[in-house]
Every structure is written in structure tokens, then in C-alpha cells.
Structure 1
Amino acid sequence: MSLFRKSLASLGIGSARVDTVLPQGVLIPGEPLAVDVQVHGGKVEQQIDNIHLFLCCRYEDEVETSRGDSQHRKEKITQICRLAEWSLPYSFVIGANEERHFEVSLSLPFNTPITIGDSHVWLETHLDMPLAFDAKDKDLLTVRPDPLLDGVFSALELAGLRIRQVECEAAKGFALPFVQEFEFVPVSGPYHGRWRELEVVVYRDESGLQMWFEIDRRQRGFSGMLAGLLGRGELERYCEIPASLHPQQAGERVLAFLDQAT
């Protein structure tokens, strides 16, 4: 075995690499994510201490900053959240040009963000190798609403509302450090001309959907983050959708709630 090749492998040249193959093109929160982790041996035999998989997303947070004076300002920063993770329970040796496969199943949390607008979800795979650069793989994922939330969104769309912006923002009191917010604008239908926009915070668990609504009739947008209002208990329009409801019934219940609220 060439010492020169070993040296190159330690620098990441001709080293083992990892690829993660996802057979599912579209993912649904609350459902399992099956992946095939493929480890390809390099030009020399190498020790693999571990394989780590991280399901990640990003969200916006507000922090107070000081610029050397007595005034404190709030600024938005981007945070990374690990939604789920998995590690191989043993180490192994990968031979030169050898290929090994590992079948892995991750549980997608209910509140994995829907990948619309600026919301992104990805899977990172890290190959942990001693005395060498760790090999990495990153795969962007497509996440769509579960049937219950899809029924709500379909009803809002049929009522003339269109999604304009989607963001994940920091919030306290939930299993994850953020909630996902959806901003709708009425382009036709019964709310056109009555509302400027509708913002919705969605939280999903096994019992169903929890939804908070804020309706803006003004000529300017909301100030601050909607999730911040939620944390201070200032969002009064709250609706629960039990998991037992049919998606169409869920949409009808939300529209009826919004009609009563306005």
C-alpha cells in the first residue's frame, strides 16, 4: 500500500466519499424518511469511525445588539435547527474501491417546514474518518403539507387567497425552536378588498393542527415577527383542527372560523 496514496487520502485526495440516495421525491411531515447511504472506497483502505446524518432547516431569530452606545437594537439572524439525526452504531473499514450501503430510516418531525419560498430543508451526511478530512454530502429536500394542512391551504386558495411569503421564525414553548408562518394575500373572492393580508402560524402534532391568524386591513404590513406576538400571547384568533377531520372538512372549518372572526 503506497504511503503517498495514504498521505493524499488524508488530505481528501483519493479518499473515501459518501453519497445519500433518497428514493422518495416528495416528503410529508410525520412520515418516515428512508435513505440509502452509499460509502465509496477511495484509492486506499480507510477506517470509518462513524456516519452521521442530520436533517436540518434554517429559521430567523431576533437578537438584541449593542453598537457601543446605550441603545440596544434588534437584528434578525439566521439559525440552523437540526430536526432529526442518526449515527451508525459501529465503525468499519472500507477497502480501496469498495462500496458499502446502509439503509437508514429517519422520522420526519410533524413540524418539518414546508419547502415553499425561503424555507429550505436538507439532509447532511458526514463520514467521520480519523486522520483525514471528513467526507460530506448535502441533499436539498422537497417537503409538502400533510393531508390535513393541504386541505386548509386548498380551501384558502379556493377562497381567492394566494401564498406570498413563507418564513420560519423563532418561537418559544414548542418542541422545535421555531414555527412556520404563511402570508396570504386576497387576489379574488370574498376577502378581496376587505383584507390587505392574512398571516397564519401553523403548529402540527399527533392530535391535529393548531393555527393562529392575524388579519391586516391596514395599508402597511405587520411590525415585528408574528411568532413574537405568539410568544407574548397577543394573537387572539386561534383555531384547532383535530386530526380525525377529513382534509376538506378541515378547510371548511378554517373558512367558517375566519368568517366569524371578521
Structure 2
Amino acid sequence: MVFKKLLGALGVGGPSVDTVLQPGPALPGGPLSGEVRLRGGGSDVTVERISLLLVARVEADGHDEEREGTVVLEQFTVGGGFRLTEGAELAVPFTVTLPWETPVTELHGQPLGPVLGIRTELEVAGARDKGDLDPLAVAPLPAQEAILEAFGQLGYGFTSADLELGHIRGTGQRLPCYQEIEIVPPAGQGHAVNEIEVTFLAAPGGMEVVIEADKRAGLFSEGHDTVHRFTTSHHAVAQADRNAEVDAWLQQVIGARAAHAAPYPYAPSGHHDEHHRSGPGAGAVVAGVAAGAAVGVVGGMVAAEVVDEIGDAFEDDEGDEGGEGDEEG
């Protein structure tokens, strides 16, 4: 999909910009390629810098309510320092590397709900203007896909996924937000836990997997959350071994008593209060986990329009856009 916008900050007749991304989903920690296509306006200009911003729509906990905003996850400089003559056309190819913690937006072609985009900024003669957004699709890493498939083969159903502003204490998280993938247990374990939230924090040398369980109240105990952190590698292993690995995690998470749980409390939005779990985001429903382990549609797929309206979604709160400083407040 190609977006075009006249750079209004540069005045009528200024240069225009199109950014075209290579087709297909990218991977966390992998390359993202494409080209920025420029067309000169009514006069010669010097293009000082071409920047690409990886932006995400996130949820943040306020004092009384949950709010949504836009956060910049990474910024790349892909060109600049050249003269663009009147009416000239120029293509600037680029290849950048996405952060390892880049959220996953789709699984087996099914949208999960989180919305990411690539925003192009052009700086000319000290003026800077934001171009339109290209929606960015990100598929899971092989290890992430295998873990999600293991949940499905163990009978868990996927319900939603969203992005939360803040950091998870006790982890190596680098981005200003984290992804929560919400799943529900099979009937045989419904008496012990309401739902489970899974967060992947990938890095070059391996991956942290944070699992939070919303445990039901028992005859002699109150309901409570337990949060556990596990580590795994990116190495390919047999799916049966992944299933066993995930099953061992679940036995520890669900079977752990409060006195023996080793929590890693969340710190959303820079606060230190108890972690708040958000409800499903707009259209955040997964149809299945793998071709051989379909869980079935939970509530129906309604996420397709989210991608179609990505530009409007981000434009609604451009003023909230920022880096880690957005965590406060």
C-alpha cells in the first residue's frame, strides 16, 4: 500500500514523498526494506534528512481510566544531504533492522489486533513534516510461533492481544511498551485459572517469556495474579519438545501457590501499583494457532478493518506521539 502526502509545512508546491515497503510481513529483529520515492516541487530544495519512525498504538493506564496513544518504538535515518531539483523524481532505497521486541501483528495471516506503522519524515531547510503511514505487518519468530502452537495443542484458546505502555520489572525489556497475548485455558483447567497473558521479550541471544495467570478463588483462598518469567532459545526444536517446555511452564504457573510464586510485577505507565490487565482491544481476536492445531474462532474475526484505518487511528492523537517519555502520566 502506498501513501502520498504533500508536505504542507514546506508550503504549496513543496516536494512530495511516497514510502513503499517490501511486500509481506517482517520479523522481529529482522530486516525491513523498501524505498522512499521523492518528487521535487516548484523549486530546488536541499533534503537534509529522511527519517522512518516505527510507531505503535498503545494502551496506558490512567488514574481512573485506560487511554490510548501513539508511541515511537524506533527511529531510522535512511537518507539526506542531497539536492532535489524542481520536478525531479528520486527513489531512496533502504534496509533497516527492526527491534527484537517488535510486537507481532499477525499469526498465520490472521490479524491479532496490535497496530504498527512506518511514518516517513522529511526535513528540508529546517522544516520537518510527517508523511502518511504505511501499515506494518509483523509475523512471529519461529520460536514464538512454536510456543503459540504449543499453547493451542495443549488446549488453550486465543482471545486477544494488545500493547501496554510501561516496563516489566525484572526483565531485559528495551522498548517503551510490551505486548500481551491473552489466552483462556481448556475446560479441565478452568477451575484453577481465568485466563493467561503471554509476553515475548526477544533478544539476539534468546527470549524471555513472561506468563501472568489470573487465578480463580478457591475454597480457602482469594483469587490473585501470579507472574512468572521463563527463558528459552531461538534454536529450532521438535514441536513435541516445545509442547513439553510450555506444559512445564504452565504446571509451574497454574500449580504455584501464592506462597511459592516468584512474581515479576509489572510497572505500567511508570507507576508502581498493581498490574492492571486491559480488556480485548478493537478486533483483537485470533482464529487459530496453527494449521494442525486450530482452536477455532473466538467471537469472530473483526480485526481486518483496523489495518485499513491505520492512518486515521494514528492521526487522531499525533500530539501524544513520543518515545519513552510517554510512559509518565
TM-score (normalizing by structure 2): 0.62
- Of 110-119 and 190-199, deviating more is 190-199
Aligned to 1:243: 234
Encode CA deviations 1:35-69: one digit per residue, 9 max, x unaligned: 21111123433332221111111322334xxxxxx
Relative distance call for 1:102 and 1:251 in structure 2 (3 A) is: farther
Encode CA deviations 1:6-40: one digit per residue, 9 max, x unaligned: xx987643321111111131011011111211111
Encode CA deviations 1:75-118: one digit per residue, 9 max, x unaligned: 43434332222225542222233111112121111110111544
Distance 2:19 2:79 in 1: 18
CA-CA distance at 1:252 after TM superposition: 2.9
Q: CA RMSD in A?
A: 2.9
Relative distance call for 1:142 and 1:184 in structure 2 (3 A) is: same
Aligned to 1:258: 250
Q: Which 5+ residue runs of structure 2 have no aligned equivalent?
A: 1-6, 106-110, 218-223, 256-329
Distance 2:141 2:148 in 1: 11
Relative distance call for 1:135 and 1:217 in structure 2 (3 A) is: closer
Q: What SS does the corresponding residue of 1:149 show, helix, strand or coil?
A: helix
8 Å Cα contact 1:123-1:141 kept in structure 2:
yes
Distance 2:11 2:113 in 1: 33
Distance 1:244 1:82 in 2: 30
Matched, 1:61 2:60: yes
Q: 2:104 aligns with which of 91, 94, 114?
A: 114
Q: Which amino acid aligns with 1:95?
A: T
8 Å Cα contact 2:143-2:235 kept in structure 1:
no
Aligned to 1:35: 34
CA-CA distance at 1:167 after TM superposition: 1.7
Q: What SS does the corresponding residue of 1:196 show, helix, strand or coil?
A: strand
Aligned to 2:72: 82
Aligned to 1:224: none
Aligned to 2:316: none
Aligned to 1:93: 83
Distance 2:104 2:8 in 1: 39
Distance 1:88 1:257 in 2: 42
Aligned to 1:150: 145
Q: 1:167 aligns with which of 148, 162, 165?
A: 162
Q: Which amino acid aligns with 2:210?
A: W
8 Å Cα contact 1:48-1:130 kept in structure 2:
yes
Q: Which 5+ residue runs of structure 1 have no aligned equivalent?
A: 1-7, 64-72, 220-228
Distance 1:213 1:119 in 2: 19
CA-CA distance at 1:121 after TM superposition: 1.1
Identity of aligned residues (%): 27
Q: What SS does the corresponding residue of 1:137 show, helix, strand or coil?
A: strand
Distance 1:237 1:134 in 2: 43
Q: Looking at CA atoms only, which structure, 1 or 2, has the larger radius of gyration?
A: 1
Number of aligned positions between the proteins: 232
Q: 2:207 aligns with which of 209, 233, 241?
A: 209
Encode CA deviations 1:106-164: one digit per residue, 9 max, x unaligned: 11111101115441111011121238673613111011110001001011112222221
TM-score (normalizing by structure 1): 0.76
8 Å Cα contact 2:50-2:121 kept in structure 1:
yes
- Of 204-213 and 151-160, deviating more is 204-213
Distance 2:229 2:130 in 1: 46
Q: Which amino acid aligns with 2:31?
A: P
Encode CA deviations 1:155-193: one digit per residue, 9 max, x unaligned: 11122222212122211552112221111023x565456
CA-CA distance at 1:247 after TM superposition: 6.4
